[in-house]
Amino acid sequence: MRPFSTRTMRRELKPLELAFLGDAVYGLYIRHYLLLKGVVRPFQLQRQSVRFVAAKAQARVLKHLMPLLSEAEKDVVRRGRNAKPRSVPKNTDVLTYKQSSAFEALIGHLYLENNDRRLEQLIDESILFIENNQDGQVT
C-alpha cells in the first residue's frame, strides 16, 4: 500500500516524515528477515531486531552505504541528516540520531519511489554489514 505514490506527495513530505515511514519499512524488513532466519520467540525477536534498528546500528550502516549511493540518494541523506528533530532519545547522542534519521529518510524515500529493487539491495547490504560486524565496529 503506497498512498503517497504521486510525485507531488513525495516532494511535500519533510525529511522527518520520510524517516518516520522509513523506520516502519526497515523494521518490517528486519522482522521478516529474522523470522526467515528462524528466530521465533518474541523476546529473541525483539532483542535481535534491536541489533539492526537501533540508532547506533543505523548510523554505522549509513556510513558503510555512503560510497554505494547515487548523488540523488546522497541528497535525500543530507536532507534527512540536516532535519531538526524536536527531541532526541535518551539512549543516543544528537549526531547518531541525525545519522539514523538520514538512513530512515533514505529508506522511506525509496519506498515511496516504488524502487523496491534498490530498497531491497540497500537493506540486504545493511543486514550483511550488521551480521558481519556484530562487535559494532565499522569496517
Q: Is residue 12 part of a domain?
A: yes
pLDDT, tens digit (0-9, with 9 covering 90-100), for 26-54: 999 999 999 999 988 988 999 999 999 99
* 106 contact partners, CB below 8 Å, separation of at least 6: 18, 22, 62, 69, 73, 76, 77, 80, 122
Q: Tell me if residue 23 is catalytic.
A: yes
Q: Is residue 2 part of a domain?
A: no
* Alpha-carbon span 76 to 98, nearest angstrom: 13
Q: Is residue 127 part of a domain?
A: yes
81 near 99, Cβ under 8 Å? Answer: yes
The CATH number of the domain holding residue 21 is: 1.10.1520.10
Relative orientation angle of helices 116-132 and 55-65, to the nearest 10 degrees: 110
CA distance to 88, 104, 124, 125, per residue, from 119 (Å): 26, 11, 9, 10
pLDDT, tens digit (0-9, with 9 covering 90-100), for 66-121: 999 999 999 999 999 988 777 666 778 889 999 999 999 999 999 999 999 999 99
Instruction: Spot the catalytic one: 23, 116, 124, 135.
Output: 23
Written as nine digits, the cell of 128 is: 550483511
Query: What is the per-residue pLDDT for 136?
Result: 46
